[in-house]
Amino acid sequence: MAIHEHEAGMGEGGCSRRNFMQLIGVGVGMVGATLMAPPLRRPLLAHSPEQVLAADDMVMIKLTVNGSSRTATVEPRWSLLYVLREIFGLTGSKIGCDRGECGACTVLLDGVPHYSCLTLAVEAQDRAITTVEGLLDGEQLGPVQTAFALEDGFQCGYCTPGQIMAVEGLLRRNPSPSAAEIRQGCSGNLCRCGAYKNIFAAADKAARLKKT
């Protein structure tokens, strides 16, 4: 019996090497399971505050869109793109990537191109917002819109409103851009059809039309 206990590695506390290694294995397994488990989340109650939108979470804002003052009651998290399209019905600005990569939603804020999908509606207060609809003169196309039509600066046309607004912003800042400056000014807008050659030609023609 003494030999058996010695071979089994019995210590003074009565724990053998075999038992010790088994305990270590169980402990490591529990740690690994804890690390791999998803974080615990507090369950939502049926009528918890997280599920109920308080009335004071809605705010009244006033926006100046295409020269007209407009008001809307919005959630602070709503994007300018959402408010323009869904609240004001100005659907010229398109939903593309919805994360500031494609430029289909481009509008002008104080004459400067911005991605409206990344701009909160509440941030656009006290600023002049111009959408592609705001470039019309009644029923007549504006110079940039006319240039895009004359130069076939589009194929499917989905990105075209954003392209037009990018060019409009460029020409307001630089009425006589070089070819390199046109490419730079349009670099924030993607055309999945690859109509860049005609888009750049349209920007050049728009610069000339604006001077007539």
Boundaries of every domain in the chain: 55-210
CATH fold for the domain made of 55-210: Ubiquitin-like (UB roll) (3.10.20)
- Could you tell me which residues come within 8 angstroms of residue 11 by beta carbon, excluding any fewer than 6 positions away? none
How would residue 57 be classed by pLDDT, with cut points 50, 70 and 90? Answer: confident
- 59-65 and 106-109 strand pairing: unpaired
pTM: 0.74
pLDDT of residue 14: 56
Beta carbons of 147 and 205 less than 8 angstroms apart:
yes
Q: What is the mean pLDDT of residues 46-66?
A: 71
Lookup: tokens for 141: 């196309």
- pLDDT tens digits, 162-179: 999 999 999 999 999 999
CA dist 202 and 61 (Å) reads 36
Q: What are phi and psi of 108, to 5 degrees?
A: -100, 135
Mean model confidence pLDDT for the chain: 84
Residue 157 has pLDDT above 90, yes or no: yes
Q: What share of the chain is helix, strand, coil (3-state, %, to 5)?
A: 45, 15, 40
Which class for 109: exposed (0-12), middle (13-18), buried (19 or more C-beta within 10 A)?
Answer: middle
State mean pLDDT over 139-144: 96
- The C-alpha torsion from 188 through 192 and 193 to 195, rounded to 10°, is 10
**In 9-59, which residue ranges form alpha helices assigned H by DSSP?**
17-36
- Return the closest-CA partner of residue 120 out of 82, 92, 87: 82
Predicted confidence (pLDDT) per residue in 5-26, tens digit: 444 444 455 556 566 556 555 5
Instruction: Supply the pLDDT for residue 212.
Output: 87
Contact 164, 148 (CB under 8 A): yes
